[in-house]
């Protein structure tokens, strides 16, 4: 997966490649899809959500230019796969998921595999996680027509955000930098994420 899907397609960041070699992706995928865990596409993880394609995950992580001392906010924990990768790359990881069931399952997987350095919260990620702001970087794993203003507010000066912007069917990945309090945007590539949905889903 790392050689064919990532390195050959341009992922150069050695720390990102190493993290993607280390985290067992199949552990984050439901039993019936495990065989395909390292293939070049997203997979279902329950609650109509997906674990992102490896290539897109690597592109997002690389473009965020993460430093080992960074505090990072992730929106859309999902399976916890990206959360695990982040925990190997930065100092502190805060991750918000709107589906309580997914958050609980992800927390269990991360704990079982020994990725302890992460804090997961159930909430509407469009509001960020003010308690732990400001963040050096924010990674949003669900698509939205517009960047939520609360997320930009919780980014430190000089911080970076990766976010898929667009409609449910057509989106582009954007890198947003906070420079002088304003957003500087770079459009990266087309992508397809599940939508960033308002509110939370509790469930027992
Ligand atoms: N990075 C995840 C991808 C999960 S898909 C992984 O590797 O598995 C996107 C996730 O975003 C879904 O779990 C979905 O429930 C969640 N989501 C959608 N809208 C949200 C919101 N407003 N706040 C928090 N999470 C949200």
What pLDDT shows up at residue 204? 55
- CA dihedral in degrees (51, 116, 164, 64; nearest 10)? -130
In the predicted model, what is the mean pLDDT of residues 130-156? 98
Q: Which atom of ligand 1 is nearest to the CA of 28?
A: 8
Burial of 146 (0-12, 13-18, 19+ CB in 10 A): exposed
Q: How confident is the model at residue 117 (pLDDT cuts 50, 70, 90)?
A: confident
Secondary structure letter of residue 52 according to DSSP: P
What pLDDT shows up at residue 190? 94
Q: Which atom of ligand 1 is nearest to the CA of 199?
A: 22
Q: Which residue puts its alpha carbon closest to atom 14 of ligand 1?
A: 76
Assign domain 2-198 to its CATH superfamily. Vaccinia Virus protein VP39 (3.40.50.150)
How close is the Cα of 156 to the center of ligand 1, in Å? 23
What percentage of the chain carries pLDDT values higher than 90? 95
In the predicted model, what is the mean pLDDT of residues 47-57? 94
Question: Domain residue spans in the chain?
Answer: 2-198
Residues in the chain: 204
In the predicted model, what is the mean pLDDT of residues 179-199? 96
């Amino acid at each position: 997966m790392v050689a064919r899907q990532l390195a050959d397609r341009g992922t150069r960041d050695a720390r990102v490649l190493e993290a993607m070699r280390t985290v067992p992706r199949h552990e984050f995928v439901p039993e019936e899809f495990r065989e395909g865990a390292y293939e070049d596409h997203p997979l279902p993880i329950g609650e109509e959500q997906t674990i992102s394609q490896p290539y897109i995950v690597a592109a997002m992580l690389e473009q965020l230019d993460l430093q080992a001392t960074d505090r990072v906010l992730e929106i859309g924990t999902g399976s916890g796969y990206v959360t695990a990768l982040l925990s190997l790359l930065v100092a502190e990881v805060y991750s918000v998921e709107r589906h309580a069931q997914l958050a609980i399952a992800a927390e269990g997987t991360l704990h079982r595999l020994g990725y302890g350095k992460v804090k997961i919260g159930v909430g509407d990620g469009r509001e960020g996680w003010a308690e732990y702001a400001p963040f050096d970087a924010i990674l949003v794993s669900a698509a939205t027509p517009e960047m939520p203003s609360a997320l930009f507010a919780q980014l430190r000066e000089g911080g970076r955000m990766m976010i898929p912007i667009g409609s449910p069917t057509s989106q582009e990945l954007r890198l947003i930098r906070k420079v002088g309090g304003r957003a500087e945007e770079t459009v990266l590539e087309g992508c397809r994420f599940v939508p960033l949905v308002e509110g939370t889903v509790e469930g027992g």
